[in-house]
């Protein structure tokens, strides 16, 4: 066998060995991916109000509801979260739904805004909401920024009949051992909710 044939055979053997190594590496990576838990597939379906709702195909997880509070004129607040964060705040969030046949006029939210001067200056909001710690006998008010604006939902437009809008309000956090508080909004009954985190 000539020297040219020998080096050609060696190159061919090296190419086969390299191809085999690549196949092993690729199949090894695929094996790792196969061992990882797969995220459930998600689909979006239309809701009655024209919005879309994400839903898991494999394991549909219902949204947790901490409280449902029915107010006047067909308004319903559904509280879905009350999260404590490391900065010393509690954020309460959920949805406000207008179940009546008439639009809710944003200026009708005046009662919810509180009566401080800053609130009157910044318009209708959930600024009058409070958290009450019955055990510690303390009431917590919605936080304000440096210009006096409440750190909560503000109402700049009407809520159409049958529609929902997301709402939130941020409060100073009660002591870490306080888990249950009463969430209050003027003109709505109070509701007991549990703080997470």
pLDDT tens digits for range 5-55: 544 444 554 444 444 444 443 444 444 444 444 444 443 444 333 443 444
Tell me the average pLDDT across 79-88. 94
Pair 69, 92: CB distance under 8 Å = no
- pLDDT in the model for residue 93: 97
- pLDDT in the model for residue 168: 96
pLDDT tens digits for range 107-128: 566 666 665 555 455 568 888 8
- pLDDT in the model for residue 170: 97
Handedness of CA 161, 162, 165, 167 (dihedral sign): positive
Handedness of CA 99, 102, 107, 111 (dihedral sign): negative
Residue 147 and residue 159: Cα distance in Å, rounded?
27
- pLDDT in the model for residue 116: 56
| Rounded to 5°, angle at Cα 34 from 29 and 38 | 125
- Helix residue ranges per DSSP H, the chain: 3-35, 117-122
What backbone torsions phi and psi does residue 193 show, to the nearest 5 degrees?
Answer: -130, 160
pLDDT tens digits for range 1-19: 555 554 444 455 444 444 4
- pLDDT in the model for residue 22: 41
- DSSP for 48-77, written as a single string: TTS-EEEEESSS--PPP-SEEEE-GGGEEE
Q: Residue 81 pLDDT > 70, yes or no? A: yes
Pair 174, 133: CB distance under 8 Å = yes
Pair 125, 150: CB distance under 8 Å = yes
């Amino acid at each position: 066998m000539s020297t040219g044939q020998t080096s050609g055979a060696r190159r061919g053997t090296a190419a086969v060995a390299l191809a085999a190594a690549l196949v092993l590496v690729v199949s090894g990576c695929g094996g790792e991916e196969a061992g990882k838990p797969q995220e459930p597939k998600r689909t979006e379906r239309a809701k009655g109000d024209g919005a879309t709702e994400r839903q898991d195909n494999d394991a549909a997880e219902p949204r947790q509801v901490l409280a449902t509070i029915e107010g006047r004129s067909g308004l319903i607040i559904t509280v879905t979260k009350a999260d404590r964060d490391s900065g010393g705040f509690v954020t309460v969030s959920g949805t406000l739904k207008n179940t009546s046949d008439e639009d809710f006029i944003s200026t009708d939210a005046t009662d919810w805004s509180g009566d401080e001067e800053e609130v009157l200056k910044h318009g209708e909001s959930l600024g009058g909401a409070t958290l009450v710690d019955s055990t510690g006998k303390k009431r917590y008010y919605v936080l304000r920024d440096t210009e006096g604006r409440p750190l909560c939902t503000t109402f700049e437009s009407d809520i159409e009949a049958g529609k929902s809008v997301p709402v939130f309000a941020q409060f100073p956090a009660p002591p870490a051992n306080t888990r249950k508080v009463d969430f209050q909004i003027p003109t709505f009954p109070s509701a007991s909710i549990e703080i997470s985190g």
